[in-house]
């Protein structure tokens, strides 16, 4: 058989070798490369699901804390809520360069068996600083939800400059 192959013209030998090479690559892809790729995809999917399941318990704890805060079950002491908000606001203001202008006492309004505690924080700084601070309060520290934010420009009579302030309102509902 080798002699027959050797007796064929060079162009025919080259074509036969190319066909054999193509068939070899096709067989290798079908039986080696394709299963490896599918197993890698399966591995990646399983790895993602495993990481997601590990983070699920943390997410459940976060959601339980948020639910308790909205219903008011975990924070019965008025001062503890007030102090928690103050600590978080100070930390976030330091991180984003905003300054805490005022932090008045919280107000409690009752309507039947439901009472709503409202805490107000007034921050001062540039729009970007204030926006980053609000974003951090809403997303990075979502224990006590931000209910509203009100921007206003005030004139400082001493320096004759305009200052941008934002009043941020936190509300917790208690039954």
Domain regions of the chain by residue span = 2-68, 76-174
Query: What integer pLDDT is reported at residue 102 of this predicted model?
Result: 85
CA distance 124 to 11: 83
Q: Which CATH class is domain 76-174?
A: alpha beta
pLDDT tens profile 8-19: 888 998 999 999
The radius of gyration computed from the CA coordinates of the chain, to the nearest angstrom, equals 33
Reference 175, options 110, 80, 107; nearest CA is 110
Query: What integer pLDDT is reported at residue 79 of this predicted model?
Result: 64
pLDDT tens profile 55-98: 776 677 777 776 666 555 444 555 677 777 888 888 888 888 88
pLDDT tens profile 107-153: 888 888 888 888 899 999 889 989 988 888 888 666 678 889 999 99
pTM above 0.85, yes or no: no
Does the pLDDT value for residue 163 go beyond 90?
no
Chain-centre distance for alpha carbon 27 = 46
């Amino acid at each position: 058989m080798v002699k027959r192959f050797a007796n064929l013209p060079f162009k025919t030998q080259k074509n036969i070798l190319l066909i054999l090479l193509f068939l070899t690559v096709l067989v290798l892809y079908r039986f080696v490369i394709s299963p490896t790729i599918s197993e890698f995809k399966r591995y990646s999917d399983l790895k993602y699901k495993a990481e997601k399941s590990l983070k699920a318990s943390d997410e459940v704890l976060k959601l339980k804390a948020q639910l308790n805060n909205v219903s008011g079950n975990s924070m019965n002491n008025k001062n503890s809520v007030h102090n928690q908000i103050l600590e978080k606001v100070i930390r976030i203001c330091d991180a984003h360069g905003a300054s805490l202008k005022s932090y008045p006492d919280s107000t409690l309004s009752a309507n039947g068996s439901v009472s709503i505690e409202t805490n107000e924080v007034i921050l001062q700084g540039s729009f970007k600083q204030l926006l980053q601070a609000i974003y951090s309060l809403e997303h990075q520290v979502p224990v006590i939800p931000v209910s509203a934010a009100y921007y206003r420009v005030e004139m400082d009579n001493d320096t004759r400059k305009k200052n941008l302030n934002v009043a941020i309102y936190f509300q917790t509902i208690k039954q």
